Amino acid sequence: MKIIEIKDLVKIYDDKKTVPVKAVNGINLDFEEGEFTAIVGPSGSGKTTLLNMLGGLDDPTSGEINIDGINMGGLKNKEKIDFRMRNIGFVFQAYNLIPVLTAKENVEFIMHLQGQSKKARDQRSKELLEAVGLGDRVNARPGKLSGGQQQRVAVARALASKPKFILADEPTANLDSKSTETLLDIMEHLNKEENITFIFSTHDARVVNKARRVITIEDGKIS
């Protein structure tokens, strides 16, 4: 089932002081449910910009992004925030965990924003941390976790809202080989066993080798 449709997508950065930069230049692209896809390309190719627009973190200059038939450009800012919170999971290079919260509290945070009950938050956060191999570290704060463990908490947090898909922007960039292998195995398992859609932006050959679809972007276009 098709979950994302991108039509004639363009993003131009123009700060009036420098030459305008066309970061994304007329991309047409679809994603199906259950994909495990890597978007690759050199630095400055537009892959992170594309991911940010898919996640509603940045607005296109022109073109459309439709998620489950909903045009993201037609949503008001508050509607977009709510849609993003309920439908899209994010895993960033820098983890972005809240330092004063435990692993469990970090995973629960988005469910708290969604208004889920304490019982539901407690059960799902524990299940997710168990799923990423951190069932024994639920009460550890980020400062007490390794980089690989923090990124696994970030994956659990991304899954907490039961999103339609997960966007992972260079999720292995700060990890050693062993942590990368563990993280990718977990995400691949979740993809295959639970049909969770993952879309990566990456330079990492290890991610590319795991992907079942690879999309190459250069100069803002699919090559």
For 120, the token pair is 């539901």
Say whether 194 sits in a helix, a strand or coil.
helix
Instruction: Indicate the pLDDT class of residue 16, thresholds 50, 70 and 90.
Output: confident
Strands (E), 68-212: 70-71, 88-91, 165-169, 197-201
Instruction: List pLDDT tens digits, range 98-143.
Output: 999 999 999 999 899 888 999 999 999 999 999 999 999 999 999 9
DSSP type of residue 44: T
Instruction: Indicate the pLDDT class of residue 94, thresholds 50, 70 and 90.
Output: confident
Nearest to 46 by CA among 29, 66, 69: 29
State which H helix or E strand residue 10 sits in: strand 2-13
- Main-chain phi, psi angles of 129, to 5 degrees: -65, -35
| Residues 169 and 51: beta-carbon distance below 8 Å | yes
Nearest to 42 by CA among 23, 14, 16: 23
**Domain range 2-222, its CATH number among 1.10.357.10, 2.40.50.140, 3.40.50.300, 3.10.20.30:** 3.40.50.300
pLDDT at 93: 86
- Main-chain phi, psi angles of 146, to 5 degrees: -70, 170
Instruction: Give the angle 95-198-103 at the CA atoms, nearest 5°.
Output: 30
Cα radius of gyration rounded to whole Å, the chain: 17
Mean local confidence (pLDDT), 38-42? 95
So where are the chain's domains?
2-222
What is this structure's pTM?
Answer: 0.91
Mean local confidence (pLDDT), 145-163? 93
Instruction: List pLDDT tens digits, range 43-69.
Output: 889 999 999 999 999 999 999 999 999
Mean local confidence (pLDDT), 78-97? 91
